[in-house]
Amino acid sequence: MGYANKTFRRYALFLWISSLLVLIEGRRPRQPRCPTSCICTRDNALCENIRSVPRSFPPDVVSLSFVKSGFNEIPEGSFLHTPALQLLLFTANSFEAIREDVFLGLPHLEYLFIENNKIKSISPNAFQGLKSLIHLSLAYNNLQTLPRDVFKGLDALIKVDLRGNAFNCDCKLKWLVEWMHNTNATVDQIYCADPPAYQGKKINDLVPQSFDCITTEFASYQSLKFESISVDSFTYKNDDYIVIAQPFIGKCSFLEWDHVEMVFRNYDNISSTSTVVCKPMVIDTQLFIIVAQLFGGSHIYKRDNSANKLIKIQDIDILKIRKPNDVETFTIDGTSYFVIADSSKAGSTTVYKWNGNGFYSHQSLHPWYRDTDVEYLEIANKPHLILSSSSQRPVIYQWNKSQKLFDRRTDIPEMEDVFAVKHFKVKNDLYICLTRFIGDSKVMKWDGSMFLEIQTMPSRGSMVFQPFAVNNWQYAVLGSDYSFTQVYRWDVKKGQFVNFQELNIQAPRAFTLVSIDNREFLLASSFKGKTQIYEHLILDLSN
C-alpha cells in the first residue's frame, strides 16, 4: 500500500514539473507563443478546432497535429517557420485540396499523415522537397486519382498509405501502377472503384500492360482549294509524291512535301480534259503516269529526266477504253501490268503489259459489262482481279500461270450493285470491303474457298470504302455524299471494324495514305469541295 502511494506521489510530482516546464517554455519572452486552441509542449503541438493554420509555433517543434479543424486550405509555405518538423498530422479536417508548396522548407519531415480529411485534389508538386519523408498517408480521403509523379523525389519513402479512397483506375492512374511496380516503398492494399470493368480490383495486382492507353486520331492538317476525284501517292528516287486528278479543270496535279513549311505544295501539272484517274507507276527507275480521261482518250506519260518534265509517250486504244473508271497497277513474276476498268457498254476492262519499251494491250476482260472498279489482289498467293460492275455481281478472275492470262473463276454470290471492291489483310487473313452506293456496304473474309460476309455498314451515297493500315492499326473509311464520312478501326478481339471517327468531306471519291518524315497523312479527294489532308496522330492518354 505505502509503496504504491509513494510511487503515485512521485509520478504526480513528475507531471507537475513537466507542466511547469511547459509553462516556462511557453513564456520565454522572444519565443513565438503557442497559438490559442493549440496545446504545445517543447517538441509537440496539437491544434483542434482551429479556423486557419497558425503562422507561429515554437520553432523547435518536431511534431504538429491538426484535428477537426475548420480551415479550407493550407496556405503556401505554412511551415517555413518550423523547419525542425519531423511529423505532421492532419486528421478529421474538412479541407479538400493540397496545393503546391504547402510543405516548403521541411527537409527533416519523416512522417506526413493527411488522413480522414476530404482531399479531392493534390497538386503535382505538393510534396516537392520532402527528402526525408519515410511515411506518407493520404488514407480515407475523397481521392479518385493522383497526379502523375506526385511522389517524385521522395527517395526516402518506405511506406505509403492510400487506403479508403475510391480510385478511378483509368489511364490517368497508369503511372501509379508503374510507380508501385518500381518503388521500394510498401503500399497498403488499395482498390479500384471505377471504371466498371475494374471495380473492386486490387491496384497492387494491376500491371501497367493491362492499361490500354494508346489511341489514335485523324486531325485536319491541310486543305487544298480544289475538287478532286482520284488521289495516289508514289515514291520516286527516294522522295514521296502525291498525284491528284482534278476532273473539272482537267489536271493531274503533283504535290511534294515542303520540309521547311511542313505542308504539301504543288510542283507540277499534266494538263488534260475530264480527268478521272492519274495513276503513277514506277518501273525500275522510270516514272509513268497513266492519265485516264472521259473525253479525248487516255494517255501514258513518262518522266523525261533530261528535259525535267513529263512527256506523253502513248495513247490508249480508244475502242477498248471509252469510259475509264479505275486504274490499278501490279506486277506478276517481275512483269509490270496495269488494268483499266471501263464503264461503257462497248468498251472493255483491259489489262496492259509493259514490254520494256511501251505498254501493250494484253487481255480484255468482261466485255459488254459496265465495270466501275477493278482490284488486284492475291488469294492464296495467286494473282487475282475482282471486277465490279453496276449490272452484275463482282466477278473474280484468276491468273493462269501457263497461259499468262486471267481466267474467270467465280463471282461473289448475292452481292448485287457493288460499286467497288478493295482488299486488306489482318495477319494472314484476307478481307474485302465492298462499296455500295445505297443500302449496306460490306466486309467479307476469305475462308479458303469463298468470301463470307462478316459485317455490314450503312451506306448513304457511298462511292468509296477504302481499307488502309497505319503501323499496327487497320482502318477503313466509308465515304458518304449525304452524311459524314465514317472511319472504322479494326478491333482485334472482335475481329471486326468498330466506329472510330467521323470526317466532314463533301462527296469523297478516294482516300490514300502517305508516309512522309515518319508522319502519316490521309488524303481525301472531294468531288464537290476541298481536297482534305488529315494527319494520323498517336495519343497516350496516360500522359
Ligand X SMILES: *[C@@H]1O[C@H](CO)[C@@H](O)[C@H](O)[C@H]1NC(C)=O
The footprint of ligand X (CB under 6 A) covers: 182-184, 249, 251, 266-269, 400, 402-403, 407
How many angstroms separate the Cα of 539 from the Cα of each of 80, 217, 302, 358? 41, 8, 41, 47
Residue 248 CB, shortest distance to ligand X, in Å, is 10
Q: What are phi and psi of 401, to 5 degrees?
A: -60, -40
Rounded Cα distance, 363 and 312, in Å: 23
Asked if 101 and 77 touch (Cβ cutoff 8 Å), the reply is yes
| Residue nearer to ligand X on the CB measure, 82 or 272 | 272
How many angstroms separate the Cα of 262 from the Cα of each of 237, 416, 469, 521? 20, 44, 23, 12
Cα dihedral sign for 207, 209, 212, 214?
A: positive
Here the cell at position 119 is 482531399
Residue 153 CB, shortest distance to ligand X, in Å, is 11
Residues 6+ apart with CB under 8 A from 295: 273, 274
Residue 437 CB, shortest distance to ligand X, in Å, is 29
As a whole number of Å, the CA-based R_g of the chain is 37
| Residue nearer to ligand X on the CB measure, 182 or 357 | 182
Residue 244 CB, shortest distance to ligand X, in Å, is 10
| Residue nearer to ligand X on the CB measure, 17 or 263 | 263
| Residue nearer to ligand X on the CB measure, 232 or 342 | 232
Residue 157 CB, shortest distance to ligand X, in Å, is 8
| Residue nearer to ligand X on the CB measure, 357 or 402 | 402
| Residue nearer to ligand X on the CB measure, 51 or 382 | 382
Q: Is there a cis peptide before residue 196, judged by omega within 30 degrees of 0?
A: no
Residue 267 CB, shortest distance to ligand X, in Å, is 6
| Residue nearer to ligand X on the CB measure, 251 or 279 | 251
How wide is the angle at C-alpha 348 spanned by C-alphas 345 and 352, nearest 5°? 160
- Looking only at the bridges linking them, the beta strands covering 275-283 and 263-271 are unpaired
Q: What are phi and psi of 436, to 5 degrees?
A: -125, 145
How many angstroms separate the Cα of 428 from the Cα of each of 102, 379, 425, 476, 513? 58, 11, 6, 18, 21
| Residue nearer to ligand X on the CB measure, 39 or 249 | 249
List, in sequence order, every residue forming a beta bridge with 425; answer none if it has no partner: 430
Residue 431 CB, shortest distance to ligand X, in Å, is 24
Which of helix, strand or coil describes residue 394?
strand
| Residue nearer to ligand X on the CB measure, 203 or 433 | 203
**What DSSP state is assigned to residue 191?**
B
- Looking only at the bridges linking them, the beta strands covering 349-354 and 335-342 are antiparallel
| Residue nearer to ligand X on the CB measure, 250 or 394 | 250
**Number of helical H runs and strand E runs in the chain:** 2, 40
Which of helix, strand or coil describes residue 387?
strand
Residue 229 CB, shortest distance to ligand X, in Å, is 14
Residue 268 CB, shortest distance to ligand X, in Å, is 5
Which of helix, strand or coil describes residue 403?
coil
Residue 164 CB, shortest distance to ligand X, in Å, is 25
